[in-house]
Structure 1
Amino acid sequence: MTRPAALALITLALAACEQAPPPGLPAREVAATAETARVAGSGDAADDPAVWAAPDPADSLVLGTDKTAGLYAFNLDGSIAQRLPVGRLNNVDVRGGFMAGDREMAIVAASDRTNIAIAYFLIDPATREIAPAGRTPLDLVDPYGACLYVSPVDGSHYAFVNDQESTDMVQLRLSWDGAGVTGEPVRRFTIGTQPEGCVADDRTGELYVGEEAVGVWRYGAEPGDGEARTLFAEADGDRIVPDVEGLAIWPQGETGGYLFASSQGDSAYAVYELETGAYVERFRIADGTVDATTETDGIEVFAGDLGPAFPQGVFVAQDDADDSGGQNFKIVDLADIAPLLDPAE
């Protein structure tokens, strides 16, 4: 090949690269209202958020894991309320209504990669203090994704934890033994390839699990529901660009609402109707008062009164590259996301 011909081919190749469209369907934009303090861990550290609603809504907390060191509790303005350096926690979830003896507490569960376990914490609603409440060792290699579920059948609390290595998922029934929280394994099934995020719908008894390169699966969440599943949302490169990471539910009514999924491959979030599985919209958190999010791991939706700052609730997303140079969580007013999901808008 002559030199001019070779240069012409290189020029054409570069032009093609410049014109190649970005992955994923177009995404609308929303800005975060607040952001948390960065976690202490360096590199890939912040991972997964959860929201605890306090008796006084303005006192509610955003929980967040530092997967190099432990658990944070942030105030709604993003400042640190409490830090628990308890080990390498990956995913976290919270549910109220857990009976610790004669006291009703909120229970927090997190996948514990330091101890190959699920770690438990209790939140005292009167003081907002979070205290370790034991752990259950797991027959897994590397505990990864985790979520909680309260059965509409009998009110029992359950935890789900999956394994990055074996891709197994274990379901445990949680109870109080007088000294701490205990977990009894009641079910085990295999996802297939690498899983992570999961979320359970306490209204309908359904469990959603992300298989990172494949999509979102829907299972039954009761112990006797076995391995039956349906593919709820595919990681098709358009709506969800692999990896599919964090999952969250915005419940509406008795069975309706939306499932949110982190489309990590293009730093966006895909939204689907819960009842039908129909795709609704994609959005991104863009630069605004605080910086944009990129390559999000965990997400959370809390729909409800969180005080004057967030009367309709929040969407929380992990940010892989905060402008401070570390990692943190962005807090979006749910009222700013609602119009994006309205077909009339």
Structure 2
Amino acid sequence: MRANFLLALLGLSLLLGQPAVAATSLKLDKAGLHLLDENGRELDSLKLRAKRWDQRVEGSHETVAVLLDADRGRPVLVRSEGRILLARDLPEPTFAVDALCLHRDPQGLLHLFLLGEEGLSEQWLITDKGARTLRRLATAPSPEGCRVDDRRQVLQVHEAGLGLWEHGTEAEGKPQRRLVKVPSKGKAEPAPKRYDWPVLQATAQTDPVERLGDAADDPAIWLHPLDASRSRVLGTNKKQGLLTYDLSGREQQLLEVGRINNVDLRQRIQAGGKTWDLAVATQRDENSLLLFGIDAEGRVSELARLPTDLTDIYGLCVGRTPDGQLDVFPNDKDGRVQQYRVELNPQGQWQARLLRAFKLSSQPEGCVVHEAEQRLFVGEEKRGIWAVDARAEVPAKPQLVMPVGAELQPDVEGLALYQGKPGAPSYLLVSSQGNHSYLVLDAKPPFALRGGFRIGINAQLGIDGTSETDGLDVSSADFGGLYGQGLIVVQDGHKRLPDGPQNFKYLPWSEVTKALKLR
């Protein structure tokens, strides 16, 4: 019974791989693995004892297979190239493997699922350099077999006496699984709809934060006044404090200032007859604004804690007024958005003066100010993106820019503005957390959607993709090299390759320009 089931799974897995039919074929028996021509004659063979294997047809003369060596307990990757077999050992798993199967993801990358007999399983990324653990996952104990539907991106695992489990193959995001139920009419359940955007690759990532779970949240980019390569990225760890990183992602500072959520900054602010680079973060334990100064070398220091009358402070953004002052827009989970002017009083003390307030019907968080247009964009997590006049003397009348829907899926999280050069378009960048993607809209009415993208695995650099992004930032400054047209920094909700504490990923704006055909 078990053997028949495994054979059926193997046949289905071949159908679910690449559509090309190989002129050669593979056969496994007690003597080992055999490469056969179209007439069944043996071309090559590999002597090993294996009971578990899977294969993918990759072209008219190539097949990739993985077998579990029964004597050594480790997987072996085999490729047929023409008339020969090429084999190499993969790392030895740290658990007893009951089933294994291959998967080609939408990026064309090869994955291997190793299912443990006790339900502790792993997903590996296979490259020319070897195999690396991408993530751990929980599956049915003592599985009777597995297969992957590449098109639907689901791993199917059979559990005796219960049925067939389907797990999402995408490593990013929270693990998803369901027990398949066969409808009474015998029709398969439809695959869930998804909006497909181009998949880009991060070119750098920061050191992980020091706290597990939902910790990293929001970044902000600071441009060095003389040498852009020495710029800094500020990032919040909402379980610890504020961090700074260089453009390679190495941690430079940790300020343990408590439970801060969002951070934003502006440079060349005029206050007290001096010019300042200032960053502001929301301090959730105190419902206050935490003000930081940034010196000419990018060193950050705390300047003041400024109280607000919010009761559950959450998100925040800042903007520079036409005369060079700093306005701060914190929000509350109850929907309130306030506008403060941060300034030095005659005694030389920092203060936050409330200018105006308005309220959305539900919880906001991300926001950004388009200073050239004096427009504030606010993300209401469950409803969409709003635009409001940023001038304090004008009544706040929010207008809906984009509601949640097929492209923009809740939660609506981070918002950032790519400020184009004079005469060039500016763009609003939005984190669509519900489908692990990022949207690009015109920053001027009618706020047309220019497209979206996702961030996938960069196998060459060993950087995982991103998912469930909270905060993000973008700068159009020339940082040199890959970032000559600008830099995007996004929070990654699930650190993979391998699993670990969250971090931030860097992406060149030029890749977005190319993928979405922007100008």
TM-score (norm 2): 0.61
Aligned equivalent of 1:295, options 461, 468, 472: 468
Amino acid at match of 1:318: Q
Structure 1 residues 103, 224: closer, same or farther in 2, change over 3 A?
A: closer
Amino acid at match of 2:507: V
Amino acid at match of 1:117: S
1:230 and 2:403 aligned: no
Contact 2:271 2:325 in 1 (8 A): no
Amino acid at match of 1:311: G
1:174 and 2:342 aligned: yes
Aligned equivalent of 1:329, options 487, 504, 507: 504
Contact 1:91 1:111 in 2 (8 A): yes
Pairing of 1:243-282 with structure 2 (within 5 A): 243-252=411-420, 253=422, 256-275=425-444, 276-282=446-452
Shift, 1:309, TM fit: 4.6
Relative to structure 2, which stretch is displaced further, 167-176 or 205-214? 167-176
Pairing of 1:137-176 with structure 2 (within 5 A): 137-152=307-322, 154-164=323-333, 166-176=334-344
Deviations 1:130-158 (A, max 9, x none): 11010211111111110001122x33210
**What is the distance in 1 between the residues matched to 2:418 and 2:218?**
17
1:58 partner SS: helix
Shift, 1:256, TM fit: 3.2
Contact 2:269 2:320 in 1 (8 A): no
Deviations 1:49-100 (A, max 9, x none): 1100002101100110001111011000000111100011111101001235
**What is the distance in 1 between the residues matched to 2:272 and 2:187?**
68
**What is the distance in 1 between the residues matched to 2:210 and 2:240?**
8
Larger radius of gyration: 2
**What is the distance in 1 between the residues matched to 2:231 and 2:482?**
11
Q: Which has the higher contact order (CA 8 A, sep 6+)?
A: 1
Structure 1 residues 10, 44: closer, same or farther in 2, change over 3 A?
A: closer
2:400 partner SS: strand
Structure 2, gaps ≥5 residues long = 1-179
Pairing of 1:15-30 with structure 2 (within 5 A): 16-17=188-189, 19-23=190-194, 25-30=195-200
> Counterpart in 2 of 1:68?
239
Structure 1 residues 255, 339: closer, same or farther in 2, change over 3 A?
A: closer
1:89 and 2:260 aligned: yes
1:33 and 2:203 aligned: yes
Q: Percent identity?
A: 36
> Counterpart in 1 of 2:357?
188
**What is the distance in 2 between the residues matched to 1:130 and 1:268?**
31
1:213 and 2:386 aligned: no
- CA RMSD of superposed structures (Å): 1.9
Pairing of 1:96-115 with structure 2 (within 5 A): 96-115=267-286
Contact 1:296 1:319 in 2 (8 A): yes
Amino acid at match of 1:317: V
**What is the distance in 2 between the residues matched to 1:57 and 1:113?**
32
2:483 partner SS: coil
TM-score (norm 1): 0.91
Shift, 1:250, TM fit: 1.0
2:464 partner SS: coil
**What is the distance in 2 between the residues matched to 1:308 and 1:341?**
21
**What is the distance in 2 between the residues matched to 1:167 and 1:327?**
27
